Homo-oligomer: A and B are copies of this chain.
Amino acid sequence: MAKHCVSASPSSTPLLKDELDIVIPTIRNLDFLEMWRPFFQPYHLIIVQDGDPSKVIKVPEGFDYELYNRNDINKILGPKASCISFKDSACRCFGYMVSKKKYIYTIDDDCFVAKDPTGKEINALEQHIKNLLCPSTPFFFNTLYDPYRDGADFVRGYPFSLREGVPTAVSHGLWLNIPDYDAPTQLVKPLERNTRYVDAVMTIPKGTLFPMCGMNLAFDRELIGPAMYFGLMGDGQPIGRYDDMWAGWCIKVICDHLGLGVKTGLPYIWHSKASNPFVNLKKEYKGIYWQEELIPFFQSVALPKECTSVQKCYLELSKQVKAKLGKVDDYFNKLADAMIIWIEAWDDLNPSTPTAAKLPNGSSK
């Protein structure tokens, strides 16, 4: 019988209150937090201010937060700040690095509280925490979706030896209203809205890549944090809007290698506003083209068994990026270098999680 691993929390104690930071990249006042107050106020926020550092970002009263602008990032990382993107929401990954907590939830500032089909407001963070605290099942598909949810289990024919599952490293949430479409699809379907509430959480199988969106995303920093790098995007770079995709491909091959799980599905947030498709097309067009080479690359990445920590995996991946994608465009040589700088900066700020970090099953070192 599948264990149901998270009990409903007594309403007085928010789950993981002292073990989770909420990371928000922004260029504007954070009025959107008003709507999230009942769910976010108990948690600590890390706000990464993008763009002009002299602008003052207003945060609603009563939230506990730290805020970093570009000057702060430059001061803290010195020359290594080059790995953090500017004028792109990719800058959010700086927040992952300065956090000292075990878990991260990151959300965009145009995302509001969604309602479930009964009209109840969805506590997205609570669902992400449940997803992260329950195991994943990447080695075999369960047709009734997450076997650890109440009212569900493993179906007939599911091997018993796989029912313990593996630790979940990433929980990828979805969006009602404005779907996360690329610019060409936005242009073709400007009026399409996502109204379908799919009441499911599932593990993305081992060996399968997916498009990870950074709008509504949670992860276990200790298990996968050093691979959650959002790349070089925005100011001075030939590409944008592939920051979360890049991170998603990297974390997936590393999770597959280390035996960690990635879940997608619930919770939904309400995505309020479509970004400008013409601007998006300009940011994306090289990505749309390069992606056709990136996917086969990531599908064929093999990490040697010596790669027993996330950092080792990530450094090996940067080598392979340089060797195999450098010829697609020189951008990937720069990106591969930035991946190394990112890991160095991560280890500087997180000296307690050394390169040979302990694996969940204790098999490392």
- Convert A291-309 into 0s and 1s, putting 1 for each residue whose CB lies closer than 8 angstroms to a CB of B: 1100100000000000000
Q: A140-B209, A141-B209, A179-B144 are in contact. Are A153 and B204 (CB under 8 A)?
A: no
- Convert A196-220 into 0s and 1s, putting 1 for each residue whose CB lies closer than 8 angstroms to a CB of B: 1111100011111111110000000
Q: Judging by beta carbons under 8 Å apart, are B141 and A208 in contact? A: yes
List the B side residues contacting A181 at CB < 8 Å. 153-156
- Which residues of A107-156 have CB atoms within 8 Å of chain B's CB atoms? 117, 140-145, 149, 151-156
Residue of B nearest to A209 (CB): B140
Q: A153-B189, A198-B198 are in contact. Are A213 and B143 (CB under 8 A)?
A: yes
Answer yes or no: A195 CB below 8 A from chain B CBs: yes
Which of B159, B207, B213 is the one whose CB lies under 8 Å from A207?
B207
Which of B145, B157, B197 is the one whose CB lies under 8 Å from A211?
B157
Which of B185, B210, B242 is the one whose CB lies under 8 Å from A140?
B210
Answer yes or no: A161 CB below 8 A from chain B CBs: yes
List the B side residues contacting A143 at CB < 8 Å. 172, 174, 180, 210-211, 213, 264
Q: In whole angstroms, how far apart are the Cα atoms of A333 and B149 in the complex?
A: 40
Q: Judging by beta carbons under 8 Å apart, are A141 and B210 in contact? A: yes
Q: In whole angstroms, how far apart are the Cα atoms of A150 and B208 in the complex?
A: 25
- Which residues of A301-348 have CB atoms within 8 Å of chain B's CB atoms? none
Residue of B nearest to A241 (CB): B156
Q: In whole angstroms, how far apart are the Cα atoms of A212 and B117 in the complex?
A: 29
Q: Judging by beta carbons under 8 Å apart, are B154 and A185 in contact? A: yes
Q: Judging by beta carbons under 8 Å apart, are A157 and B245 in contact? A: yes
Q: In whole angstroms, how far apart are the Cα atoms of A1 and B192 in the complex?
A: 11
- Which residues of A158-182 have CB atoms within 8 Å of chain B's CB atoms? 158-162, 172, 174, 179-182
* A157, A179, A195, A210 pick with most chain B CB within 10 angstroms: A157
Answer yes or no: A188 CB below 8 A from chain B CBs: yes
Sample (20) of A-B pairs whose CB atoms are under 8 Å apart: A142-B210, A143-B172, A143-B210, A152-B179, A154-B181, A155-B181, A155-B182, A155-B213, A156-B245, A157-B182, A157-B212, A157-B244, A157-B245, A157-B248, A158-B182, A160-B288, A160-B292, A161-B292, A207-B207, A208-B208
List the B side residues contacting A353 at CB < 8 Å. none
How far in angstroms is the closest Cβ of chain B from A235?
A: 21
List the B side residues contacting A180 at CB < 8 Å. 143, 155-156
List the B side residues contacting A199 at CB < 8 Å. 196-199
- Convert A57-86 into 0s and 1s, putting 1 for each residue whose CB lies closer than 8 angstroms to a CB of B: 000000000000000000000000000000
18 new A-B contacts, CB < 8 A, other than A1-B188, A157-B182, are A1-B189, A140-B209, A143-B172, A143-B180, A143-B210, A143-B264, A144-B196, A145-B198, A152-B196, A153-B192, A155-B179, A157-B244, A157-B291, A158-B182, A160-B184, A160-B291, A161-B292, A205-B207
